[in-house]
Amino acid sequence: MEYDDLELKIPEQCEDYDECSQFVTTSIESIVQEAIDSGCNQIVINTNLKLGLPMENINKIAGPIIEAWAYETFHEVMEDENNKFQLINVEAQQRLHMADIILQFKKKRKVESGVTAEVDVKATSEDFESSGRSPNITSFKRIRTAYVEDPDYIFIILSLKHRVYSTKNADTGLMDGIMEIVSHNAYDLKFLSSSDLSYNPALGSGQLQVRDIHYVKLTKRNTCEFCQLLDQKFINSRKGFDVWYDLAKKNEWIKTDE
């Protein structure tokens, strides 16, 4: 038995998926850019360290701090009922969820009146070239199943680049750490080019990774094509077809007579 012999469950995405994806991605980038332009891109970290933050290890704690900044930035926009981005709901997710934040936007469509996106926030350092460059995104099994269960699933990778420096606090005489978001990019996972998306077979069903989050190319494809791309990356790894087939049966990615 080979992959082409199987009858895959074909997830049919909505006609306006590309439009919704572009709308969400553009809105997210615009919200972050406005925060940067307005000077709301600094996170002040007060410590009692006289010599400031340990810069050589700052990237190890940056992730959750940057994620919290992103959540607060989106939440502040949502609190303005007349916000031009039509952002109507923001939810932070627990640590083991696939994404960090869920965003809901109001949008006039043929069938629905809104669009929902899950956002995975990735912090990368301007001070360290390799910091966060090839991040894990999510497990193969979970993301593959998500697209079968919801063909219109929008999963956005939000890359936030930051720099960190210290400045002396005039009141305390101690050094305050300043974490500053300086640039950003947002991508729909489904549109990442094949060469930019890699599969790491370690840990359970394996992890999807972005080869270099700073430099990616986009390729328009539908949900079915993306699922097939994920399958081939899994099968071509050391996991092979037999392991993939067992996952496909257990998670109902294929039609069977059983």
pLDDT digit string, tens, across residues 212-256: 888 899 999 999 999 999 999 999 999 999 999 999 999 999 987
pLDDT of residue 128: 61
Residue 142 belongs to some domain of the structure: yes
Question: 127 falls in which pLDDT band (50, 70, 90)?
Answer: low
Looking at the 3D structure of the chain, how many domains does it have?
A: 1
DSSP 113-147: SEEEEEEEEEEEESSSTTTTSS-EEEEHHHHHHHH
Please state the rounded mean pLDDT for residues 73-78. 97
Q: Residues 207, 208, 209, 213: is their CA dihedral positive or negative? A: negative
Domain residue limits at 72: 15-250
Residue 8 belongs to some domain of the structure: no
Question: What is the average pLDDT value for the chain, to the nearest integer?
Answer: 90
Residue 244 belongs to some domain of the structure: yes
In sequence order, the β-bridge partners of residue 181 are 162
| Of 51-55, 59-63, 83-87, 207-211, the least confident | 51-55
Please state the rounded mean pLDDT for residues 64-73. 95
Q: Domain with 204 in it: what CATH number?
A: 3.40.600
Q: What percent of the chain has pLDDT over 90?
A: 69
Please state the rounded mean pLDDT for residues 91-106. 91
Within the chain, residue ranges assigned H as helices are 17-37, 59-79, 140-149, 223-235, 240-250
Q: What percent of the chain has pLDDT over 70?
A: 97
Return the DSSP state at 100. Answer: S
Helix H or strand E segment including 179: strand 175-188
Please state the rounded mean pLDDT for residues 140-169. 93
Residue 130 confidence (pLDDT) above 70: no
User: Which residue type does 162 have?
Assistant: H
Residue 235 belongs to some domain of the structure: yes
The CA-based diameter of the chain, rounded to the nearest angstrom, is 73
Question: 9 falls in which pLDDT band (50, 70, 90)?
Answer: very high
| Of 81-85, 147-151, 162-166, the least confident | 162-166
The CA–CA distances, whole Å, from 137 to 49, 121, 143, 158, 174 equal 34, 10, 9, 11, 37
pLDDT of residue 129: 60
Torsion, Cα 125 130 133 135, to 10 degrees, reads -100
Residue 10 belongs to some domain of the structure: no
Residue 237 belongs to some domain of the structure: yes
> pTM of this prediction?
0.91
Rounded distance, CA 109 to CA 93, Å? 27
The CA–CA distances, whole Å, from 110 to 9, 41, 98, 154, 213 equal 25, 37, 29, 18, 34
